[in-house]
Amino acid sequence: MKYYLLFSLAFLISFSTFSQEEKSESKWVPRDPQKFETTHSGTFNGQKITYKAVVGETFLKNSKGEVTGALWSTSYIREGVDSSKRPVLFIFNGGPGSASIWLHVGFFGPKVVKTDSEAKTDDGAAPYRFVDNTQALLDLTDLVFIDPIGTGFSQVEGVGKTSDFWGLNEDAASVAQFMRTWVTQHGRWQAPKFMAGESFGTTRAAKVAEVLEEGGQTMALNGIILISQALDYAGSSSWADNLTSFFTYLPSQAVTAWYHGKAGKGKTIEAFAQEAREFAYGDYLTSLFLGEKQTPAQKEAIAEKLAYFTGLDKAYILRSDNQILMHRFKKELLREEGKAIGTLDGRYLATETDKAAEGPVLGDPASYMTSAAYTAVFNDYLMRDLKVTLDRPYFTSASGMGGSWNWKPVPDGAYWEPSYVSTARALSEAMHRNTRMKVLVANGYYDLITPFFDAEYTFARHNFPQDRIEMTYYEAGHMMYNRQEDFDALAKDVRKFLEGMLK
């Protein structure tokens, strides 16, 4: 349950229709997959392009060929070109339990929603801004947005049950099956193939890359885009006694304090971040592992430095034993002002109703100040532009998934150590088997759920081929594309990354 709470992204605002073992009550009647197809045109990267949008379902099947689920996706396919070698980019969000809406109308899609770029105001009530995305990649590649089972319109069908899909291995297997099916149906086996995932979507991407190399139907990827990576949860799980997390979260706390004027005055964000990195790898790491072998004077010296970096009171830091849990930091940084800062993006802040609480009580302002806009524009877009007419809602998230999710990366419920989920080794090994695959890792400085320093720490280990890993940084949070300057920068970085492999 705790892993799910960490990566829920506060998007769990709707209801799932299935419990863990629930099956369809009536016998499933074979039918053709549903789809809604429309034709559009737009200008992308200066090119006028006509494209087809297909919102449709793909039946997933078990080893006996029986239907177990109907996975819905939205494909944007350029028309008037030879499709046999036309690149394709598969895109999904995280959760687990999140639909692809956030990357769909937040960044990659042909139309995108716009919220307050500077994170100062709430998205309010409809109508919201929804604009053409002239930086979309349709001049380079087709786009396929995937909604895993339980999200969007995707659901269990036939003999399936949710436990067939709601697990680390099960989820990866279903997404890999969909990708192979899509590639086969569209004749793209000879085409360059890419994946893009966000948050748990990066956890998924690493596992899917491994699964695609198995099963007698090997499909090698050209590249993967990891937005706000979460490959090794030890560095992104801020819990007591997890020493790794105090180390990996510190630079994010420092730059967030810098943003709110509580630390690092007179310094650039890059310089202050580097200073925090050096302290984390140096005196702070030593202190964390020395624990009670330190003298009071040594502890006080570390507390002094932590106060310098985090902007928190030294006495409070000492009472916390020099270990600041993230949920406390989000409340403590602006406690005197009665405000708490965001998790997905530390730039956001909101006035709290309980000013004495240990942590934020209203939830994550970075989520509730933007999610209504995303939900409204996407539902309207589905009906008005993509002509989707279904008698059930589009679920942006699957709220019943948390307690039912199987995190074990080994089959049959086998015991597993260490206790933290990690797909980092899976991606590293996939990259060693596929020596052409490259990875772009996009990091938000103010991301307080998957910290940028954890990305650096993760990719410095696990024997990753360093020459095929590219790190980029943005002055926003988990969804850095919500800030216009970072939307533009990320668009350029992703385009450059893809173009480099398509030469």
pLDDT-derived band at 318 (thresholds 50, 70, 90) equals very high
> Residue 243: its pLDDT value, please?
96
Reported for 480-485, long-range contacts at CB under 8 A and 24+ positions apart, including other chains, are 480/227, 480/228, 480/442, 480/444, 480/447, 481/106, 481/107, 482/106, 482/115, 482/117, 482/119, 482/345, 482/370, 483/117, 483/118, 483/119, 484/114, 484/117, 485/117
- Give the rounded percent of residues in the chain with a pLDDT score beyond 70: 92
Residue 288 has pLDDT above 90, yes or no: yes
CA distance 145 to 182: 12
pLDDT-derived band at 404 (thresholds 50, 70, 90) equals confident
CA distance 425 to 438: 15
The pLDDT of 200-206, averaged and rounded, is 97
- Sequential DSSP letters for 401-434: -GGG-B--SSGGG---SSSS-B-HHHHHHHHHHS
Kindly report which listed range (9-23, 174-188, 234-248, 387-401) carries the lowest average pLDDT score: 9-23
Residues in a beta bridge with 438: 223
Residue 417 has pLDDT above 60, yes or no: no
**Tokens at 186, concatenated:** 């569209």
> Residue 5: its pLDDT value, please?
37
Amino acid letter for position 242: N
> Residue 2: its pLDDT value, please?
37
Residue 427 has pLDDT above 90, yes or no: yes
Residues in a beta bridge with 232: 422
**Tokens at 373, concatenated:** 């806009």
**CA terminus-to-terminus distance, the chain:** 44
> Residue 8: its pLDDT value, please?
40
CA distance 493 to 145: 20
Q: How many residues belong to the chain?
A: 503
What digits encode the pLDDT tens for the residues 121-150?
999 999 999 999 999 999 999 999 999 999
Kindly report which listed range (241-250, 342-351, 405-414, 435-444) carries the lowest average pLDDT score: 405-414
What is the overall mean pLDDT for the chain?
92
Residue with tokens 């990366």: 409
